[in-house]
Amino acid sequence: MRLTQYTDYSLRVLIYLALQPDRRCSIQEIADKYEISKNHLMKVVRQLSSAGFVDSVRGVRGGLRLAVDPAEINLAAVIEEMEPDFGMVECLRADNQCVITGPCKLQSMLRQATQAFLDVMREQTLADLLGPQERERLEMILIS
Amino acid sequence: MRLTQYTDYSLRVLIYLALQPDRRCSIQEIADKYEISKNHLMKVVRQLSSAGFVDSVRGVRGGLRLAVDPAEINLAAVIEEMEPDFGMVECLRADNQCVITGPCKLQSMLRQATQAFLDVMREQTLADLLGPQERERLEMILIS
């Protein structure tokens, strides 16, 4: 059971930006610090921006910063925005061809379990990832 | 967020076998009824067998049947057995290289959320998928 790399990277971008509220950051810089591909981050940042989590400005004085306070960014909302689907099994996906889809109760059970997963994440915001101790240690790794 | 096709297929195999407690079934027959690849089912059945869910006998009079009562087959136990991992993000996987792994609290949050998912499934057994109504409708599709 996995989230996509896309969602994983989006959470890393938000953490990075939350550490630096006073300046705009570049995608290249985020890619460098996390040692991940800039190309992968481009699409991630575009969606974070269109979803209202990130404020993105083009140009020489441009760059990225959080569009709202970290305490306003709910982690379940980020996951729900960034995951392509919650198709735990075939019958929960658009291209479903499972022959027992009608009478099989797995669909409703797995929907309920997925909600329980999201409900746990819904209790957390980006700010909860960044207590004083975590912030200090994250800054040592990412900002130097 | 998805389970693997491997786990999806394992649940279908268990449903099929639960509908026919009085005879042994072949992998070919299960593949045909679900219109899925026999090759994909071979490995699934081998693991279901080694995990003690399925009793598999080779030979002309051989075949598959459930090794235990459907009420004894917990759906969380099946998912835990069949999923290769619960690596929701990179830091929860064996090949983790995320640079913020130490101070980042996502790992523990996502572990807790995954447990909440599994806890919902742990309330259900294979028998719960097969109430009288569901059984009748499933038999109409799969056994004819």
Q: Which residue of A has its CA nearest to B131?
A: A105
pLDDT tens, per residue, chain B with 144 residues: 999 999 999 999 999 999 999 999 999 999 999 999 999 999 999 999 999 999 999 988 899 999 999 999 999 999 999 999 999 999 999 999 999 999 999 999 999 999 999 999 999 999 999 999 999 999 999 997
Question: Which among B7, B116, B138 is the nearest to A120, CB-wise?
Answer: B116
CB contact under 8 Å between B117 and A121, yes or no, is: no
Q: Are B1 and A83 in contact, with CB atoms under 8 Å apart?
A: yes
What does the pLDDT read at residue A61? 87
Please write the tens of the pLDDT for every residue from A34-80.
999 999 999 999 999 999 999 999 988 899 999 999 999 999 999 99
* Spatial distance between the Cα atoms of B124 and B114, rounded to a whole number of angstroms: 16
Q: What part of B 16-75 touches A (C-beta under 8 Å)?
A: 33-35, 75
* Domains of chain A from N-terminus onward: 5-84+125-142 (1.10.10.10)
Confidence band (pLDDT; 50, 70, 90) for A116? very high
pLDDT computed for residue B67 by the predictor: 97
The answer, yes or no, to whether ipTM is higher than 0.90 is yes
- Distance from the Cα of B15 to chain A's closest Cα (Å) equals 9
> What burial letters (b/e) apply to B88-102, b meaning 16+ CB within 10 Å?
bbbbbeeeeebebee
Backbone torsions φ then ψ of B2, nearest 5 degrees: -140, 150
Of B7, B105, B121, the CB nearest to A109: B121
Q: What is the pLDDT of residue A59?
A: 87
